[in-house]
Chains A and B, each alone.
Chain A
Amino acid sequence: DTGVSQDPRHKITKRGQNVTFRCDPISEHNRLYWYRQTLGQGPEFLTYFQNEAQLEKSRLLSDRFSAERPKGSFSTLEIQRTEQGDSAMYLCASTLSTGTSLGEQFFGPGTRLTVL
C-alpha cells in the first residue's frame, strides 16, 4: 500500500496523559500537513512541514502540542497533558509540491483520540 498511513487508528487515554501519533506520508512527498476534526466540523489546519522544516503552526496548536518530521520522512504529533477538549480525529496529509504547483493532498485514515 503506497498511501498515507497513520498509527494508531484509535487511542483512548485518560486526562493528563501524553500521547503520540505517527504519520507516514507517500514516500516522495515533500509537504506534510496535520489537521484536526471535531464532531460536526470540517478538518482544521494545525501545522505543516516542507521536508523537515515546520513552517507554520496554527493558533489551535497550544504549547502542549508538538510536531516533528525528522529527516523529512515520517512525522509525529505529540500532545502532552491531554484534556477532554483534545478529543478529535487527527488527520495527516501529504503532497508533492514543486514551486507553486498545488496538487491534491492525499490523506491518511486519521487517528481518533478519546480523552476520558
Chain B
Amino acid sequence: ILNVEQSPQSLHVQEGDSTNFTCSFPSSNFYALHWYRWETAKSPEALFVMTLNGDEKKKGRISATLNTKEGYSYLYIKGSQPEDSATYLCAFSGTSYGKLTFGQGTILTVHP
C-alpha cells in the first residue's frame, strides 16, 4: 500500500506571510510527483509535475522542490494572499501510465 503523507493538515496564515507544506512519498518506483490546488466548487488545478531528483519549479509566488532519494517535496508560497486559500494536494505516480496516489491535502486559509 502506497503511503503519501502531507503536513500540516491545515494552516491559517495572515496576508503577506510566507508558508510551506510538506509531502512525503515512497522513494522507490518513482515516476512523478504532482502538486494541485483545489478551490471549493472548482476543478483541481495542476501547479507542478516534477520528475527529476533536485527539481525546483516556480510559478509566480509558488515554488516547489523535489527529493526523490529521501521521498519528499516542499511547496512554498511567498507573500500569501487571500486568493491562495485552497486545499493543496500532492500526488505520487509510481507507474508509467499516470495512476496517482494522493495525500490527504493541506487546507490553507489566508486571512486579510
A residues lining the B interface (CB < 8 Å): 3-4, 31, 33, 35, 40-45, 48, 50, 55-56, 91, 95, 97, 100, 102-110
B91 in the interface, Cβ–Cβ < 8 Å? yes
B44 in the interface, Cβ–Cβ < 8 Å? yes
B89 in the interface, Cβ–Cβ < 8 Å? yes
Known A33-B98, A48-B99: A105·B104 in contact at CB below 8 Å: no
Known A102-B31, A104-B49, A107-B43: A42·B97 in contact at CB below 8 Å: no
The CA of A106 and the CA of B104, in the complex, are separated in Å by 19
The CA of A97 and the CA of B95, in the complex, are separated in Å by 13
Known A42-B89, A104-B49: A109·B43 in contact at CB below 8 Å: yes
Output the least CB separation between A45 and chain B (Å). Answer: 5
B residues lining the A interface (CB < 8 Å): 4, 6, 31-32, 34, 36, 41-46, 49, 51, 89, 91, 93, 96-105
Tally of contacts, chain A with chain B, CB under 8 A: 66
Chain A residues whose CB sits within 8 angstroms of the CB of B100 once the complex forms:
33, 35, 43, 45, 105
Known A33-B98, A97-B97, A109-B42: A104·B103 in contact at CB below 8 Å: no
- With both beta carbons as reference points, the residue of chain A lying nearest to B105 in the complex is identified as A42
A45 close to B99 (CB less than 8 A) = yes
Output the least CB separation between A80 and chain B (Å). Answer: 24
- With both beta carbons as reference points, the residue of chain A lying nearest to B34 in the complex is identified as A104
B103 close to A42 (CB less than 8 A) = yes
Chain B residues whose CB sits within 8 angstroms of the CB of A102 once the complex forms:
31-32, 49, 51, 93, 96, 98
Output the least CB separation between A107 and chain B (Å). Answer: 4
The CA of A105 and the CA of B43, in the complex, are separated in Å by 11
Find A42's partner among B96, B99, B102 (CB 8 Å cutoff): B102
- With both beta carbons as reference points, the residue of chain A lying nearest to B6 in the complex is identified as A42
Chain B residues whose CB sits within 8 angstroms of the CB of A43 once the complex forms:
44, 89, 91, 100, 102
- With both beta carbons as reference points, the residue of chain A lying nearest to B98 in the complex is identified as A102
- With both beta carbons as reference points, the residue of chain B lying nearest to A99 in the complex is identified as B96
Output the least CB separation between B67 and chain A (Å). Answer: 18
The CA of A8 and the CA of B31, in the complex, are separated in Å by 33
- With both beta carbons as reference points, the residue of chain A lying nearest to B31 in the complex is identified as A102
